[in-house]
Copies of this chain bind each other. A is one copy, B any other.
Amino acid sequence: MLLVNRPVGIPQPGDFAVDEAVLEPIHDGQFRVRNLFLSVDPAQRGWANEGSNYAPAVPLGSVMRSLAVGRIIESRHADFPIGGHVYGWLGWQHYAVATPQDILSHFAEPVAPLSCYAGILGINGLTAHLALNGIGRPRVGDTVLVSTAAGAVGSVVGQLARSRGCEVVGLTGDDDKAQLCQTRFGYHRAANYKAGTIDTVLDTAVPEGVDVFFDSVGGEILDATLRRMRTGGRIVQCGTASIATWSPDPIGLRNEREVLTRRLSWGGFVIFDHVVEFPGAIAELAVALRSGALAYDEDIRAGLDRAPGALIDLYAGRNRGKVLISLG
């Protein structure tokens, strides 16, 4: 699946085209992966757009960048033998030629369904685990507020924060997901942020204020929450999904006074800085997952041609859990 047009904002199906190519021979140090599950992630909008982000834009005419889980079917690298499984930068395609630097995790013997390695045992669950603990530093009794609470990251944050003895509050974009947060993902309370102004929603959802804000949206939800942070609170900035474009620079409420007077600690988290921590974190998450302590939902759609539409659905909130494309 090639990126053929440079989208403005959310990529549309017409920005992509399917191409067929003959498999080229692989060279020493490379291995060929048969992709099994392609990941569909909010960050892909940034990769498709022009302009600086924390990764360079995907060149037009190239395979769309994505994470995926696959099986090694051919290898000229001794550490990546045929039959092993890998998770990494394998692209929206059926077959990938990879080198070790493309790989985020490598597992000979999966201890969970393979699809999990592209979600709760991939960057989604790892972001929840490492960002919550590294920047959020939750303490027993803290109120933890999570935006996109029912999403692939948020649904794990809710459960991990509850297991740490926190009071966990979720924000979602519809009533059904708010319900799901409470029945399935460990949230004590959850609200549909579209059910009123953000101020009225937060007045009801977190009347006591917020100790840890796990935020993936930014924008007015962030501004309103900053004004409800408790002294010494922590903000984990994992995304800015509510901002459709950063060109020109959008305007909002000034927030330095909140940082100062509330003694906040506001940190940016990008999971790819933390690859060295992955094996330990995957092991911890896998234990919880196998024990049944972590609920996890997948929204798996079959066929490469459904990838662009799945990305649009993700931005529109028309998904139930981690969105993956399965390749039969």
Residues of A near any B CB (own CB < 8 A): 52-54, 215, 218-219, 222, 237-240, 243, 246, 249-270, 273
Decide if A264 touches B259 in the complex (CB within 8 Å). no
Residue of B nearest to A242 (CB): B256
Which of A237, A249, A256, A259 has the largest count of B CB atoms less than 10 A from its CB?
Answer: A256
- Shortest C-beta distance, A89 to chain B (Å), equals 18
Decide if B260 touches A240 in the complex (CB within 8 Å). yes
Q: A259-B267, A260-B237, A265-B267 are known contacts. Are A251 and B249 too (CB-CB below 8 A)?
A: no
- Shortest C-beta distance, A166 to chain B (Å), equals 21
Q: A249-B253, A257-B246 are known contacts. Are A265 and B263 too (CB-CB below 8 A)?
A: no
- Shortest C-beta distance, A186 to chain B (Å), equals 25
Decide if B273 touches A268 in the complex (CB within 8 Å). no
Decide if B238 touches A260 in the complex (CB within 8 Å). yes
Which of A237, A250, A264 has the largest count of B CB atoms less than 10 A from its CB?
Answer: A237
Decide if B256 touches A222 in the complex (CB within 8 Å). yes
CA distance A261 to B268 in the complex (A): 7
Closest 4 CB pairs of A and B: A218-B256, A260-B268, A54-B261, A259-B268
Which of A218, A238, A266 has the largest count of B CB atoms less than 10 A from its CB?
Answer: A266
> Can you list 5 A-B pairs with a CB-CB distance of less than 8 A?
A53-B261, A250-B253, A252-B254, A259-B267, A266-B267
CA distance A260 to B114 in the complex (A): 30
Residue of B nearest to A229 (CB): B268
